[in-house]
Amino acid sequence: MTNTSNSRVAIVTGAARGIGAATATRLAADGHAVAVLDLDENACGDTVEQITGAGGRAIAVGADVSDSTQVTAAVDRVAAQLGPPVLLVNNAGVIRDNLLFKMTEDDWDTVMGVHLRGAFLMSRAAQVHMTEARYGRIVNLSSSSALGNRGQANYSAAKAGLQGFTKTLAIELGPFGVTVNAVAPGFIVTEMTAATAARMKLDFETFQKGAAEQIPVRRVGRPEDVAHTISFLMSEGAGFVSGQVVYVAGGPLS
Ligand code: NAP
């Protein structure tokens, strides 16, 4: 734990692993109590143990972010057990990649449901606590794929949609002391990119090496790179930064 003076309550969705787990751990190290939310409550155990083992406060919460009843119950439970959640990271994500002519309606709806509907439902439920507290921070996970990526029409549309969602919430919630920003990672080593390598029938190491050669800083990203940026946007001192999209991609993107 590095600081408890500005301790608040955070919810990180999709925090059982990957970027979400690194973000939950980082926010706990920043001094916040963290609700580690994922589809399967049991899967959150490792992240919770990592936080509590380091002296932090965390609970595991099982919920599907695309289900409004589950979202309401989850946010209510966090408020009852940890206190009003005024920090929210909409990180839960799935991919259902395919070229347009092969993409099914289910592939489309699933991706929209988790990324867009999920961020909408979680933000709508959590903003009640933020506006009441006259303080809040929301970070939405966009992606470099928002700029276009072959085989990801659904994911790209959802991640671009999250940028518009972010800017609109920043306008609506700003008067209540709530900032809303998006972080758009490039290539980050997680199970999601491992699944992409598998779909392309590439060895994951080879896939990472090829990606690193195209990135100006000549390496692929780690979950901690994204968590560090989110930590800044979640901080009290970042209160004049809102409606922004920060690319965490080892170089500029156009
Ligand atoms: P990941 O390793 O696949 O982890 C995503 C987590 O979200 C999983 O634990 C997953 O649970 C959970 N999840 C999926 N659907 C959910 C739902 N409906 N409700 C609650 N939780 C759900 O992914 P990641 O690479 O860490 O990515 C995290 C975020 O960053 C995503 O939004 C992703 O799109 C974005 N991003 C990642 C990269 C990258 O290179 N990795 C780049 C740009 C953006 P299950 O395991 O049970 O499905």
> For ligand 1, atom 29, which residue shows the shortest CA distance?
91
User: Per the structure block, which two tokens stand in for 102?
Assistant: 């092969």
In ligand 1, which atom is closest to the CA atom of 14?
Answer: 7
Are the C-beta atoms of 192 and 141 separated by less than 8 Å? Answer: no
Please tell me the distance from the alpha carbon of residue 45 to that of residue 53, in angstroms, as a whole number: 12
Is there a catalytic annotation at residue 247? no
Please tell me the distance from the alpha carbon of residue 148 to that of residue 145, in angstroms, as a whole number: 5
Centre of ligand 1 to C-alpha 222, Å, is 14
User: Which residue from 154, 153, 152, 156 is spatially nearest to 142, judged by alpha carbons?
Assistant: 156
Centre of ligand 1 to C-alpha 52, Å, is 22
Helix 118-133 vs helix 153-173: crossing angle, to nearest 10: 20
Are the C-beta atoms of 176 and 239 separated by less than 8 Å? Answer: no
Domain with CATH 3.40.50.720 in the chain: 9-185+223-247
Q: Sheet holding 245-248: strands in order across?
A: 58-62, 33-38, 9-13, 85-90, 136-141, 178-185, 245-248
Q: Is residue 177 packed enough to be buried (19+ CB in 10 Å), middle (13-18) or exposed (0-12)?
A: middle
User: Which residue from 55, 10, 52, 16 is spatially nearest to 35, judged by alpha carbons?
Assistant: 10
| Three-class SS state of 235 | coil
The percent helix, strand, coil of the chain (3-state, each to 5) is 55, 15, 30
Centre of ligand 1 to C-alpha 184, Å, is 13
- pTM of the complete model: 0.98
User: Per the structure block, which two tokens stand in for 27?
Assistant: 């926010």
| Ligand 1 pocket check for 30: Cβ under 6 Å | no
In ligand 1, which atom is closest to the CA atom of 142?
Answer: 44
Q: Is residue 209 packed enough to be buried (19+ CB in 10 Å), middle (13-18) or exposed (0-12)?
A: exposed
| Ligand 1 pocket check for 147: Cβ under 6 Å | no
- CATH homologous superfamily of 9-185+223-247 equals NAD(P)-binding Rossmann-like Domain (3.40.50.720)
Q: What is the pLDDT along the chain (254 residues), one digit of tens a residue?
A: 544 458 999 999 999 999 999 999 999 999 999 999 999 999 999 999 999 999 999 999 999 999 999 999 999 999 999 999 999 999 999 999 999 999 999 999 999 999 999 999 999 999 999 999 999 999 999 999 999 999 999 999 999 999 999 999 999 999 999 999 999 999 999 999 999 999 899 999 999 999 999 999 999 999 999 999 999 999 999 999 999 999 999 999 86
